[in-house]
Copies of this chain bind each other. A is one copy, B any other.
Amino acid sequence: MAVDSIPALDLIFGRRSIRVYRPGAVDDATVKRLLQAAMAAPSAAAKYPWHFVVVREQPTLARLAEALPNGSMLATATLGIAVCGDLELAHDRQLSYLLQDCSAAIENLLLAAHALGLGACWLGVHPREERVRRLTAILALPRGVIPVAMIALGWPGETKAPHQTYLPERVHSERW
């Protein structure tokens, strides 16, 4: 089969950041499937240092939206998922591994959301100190647990064309 027409790749190219949501419930089974997908990501030395805080209560979503300059859509999202890393669990207690592991899990979660027909958007939290501080307070995170990102989720209220990006200047052969 030509590599331009593999259906499984459509999932990857079709995922876009969705910032507008329609009203509509997202049931617990769907949320569990998203989290399973996140947990299927690889992790340095199989340490799996992530934790997930699922937020459905609108007043909390509104507070999170207010805490994140890029996160106003959280106030209208059906739910949000805070992806956090526990530095004590990370390989060699290294922040780098924590960030890598959480980011791979987030990408899986975003792709699973797209596969299930949901729209999602990755909202950066770390390394912004003010955002980390406010999310830590709102979500009552214990010491050593770092909020890496918030994911806004809901049924999509906008559509976007698949990704087409290819930057040949970022590809090197054998060496730089």
Contacts and interface: CB of A to CB of B under 8 A. Distances in A.
B12 A112 contact: yes
B8 A115 contact: yes
A21 interface: no
Contacts of A173: 53-54, 56
Contact of A107 (B30, B107, B126): B107
Interface string A26-48: 00011011011101111010001
A148 B104 CA distance: 13
A54 B99 CA distance: 24
Given A124-B44, A140-B175, A9 B35 contact: no
B40 A12 contact: yes
Given A94-B127, A111-B111, A139-B175, A165 B11 contact: no
B141 A176 contact: yes
A53 B172 CA distance: 5
Interface of A: 3-4, 6, 8-13, 15, 17, 29-30, 32-33, 35-37, 39-42, 44, 48, 50-57, 60, 91, 94-97, 99-104, 106-108, 110-112, 114-116, 122, 124, 126-127, 138-142, 145, 148-149, 163, 165-167, 170-176
13 contacts: A3-B29, A9-B112, A12-B108, A13-B40, A17-B42, A39-B170, A40-B165, A44-B124, A54-B174, A55-B174, A60-B174, A99-B99, A107-B107
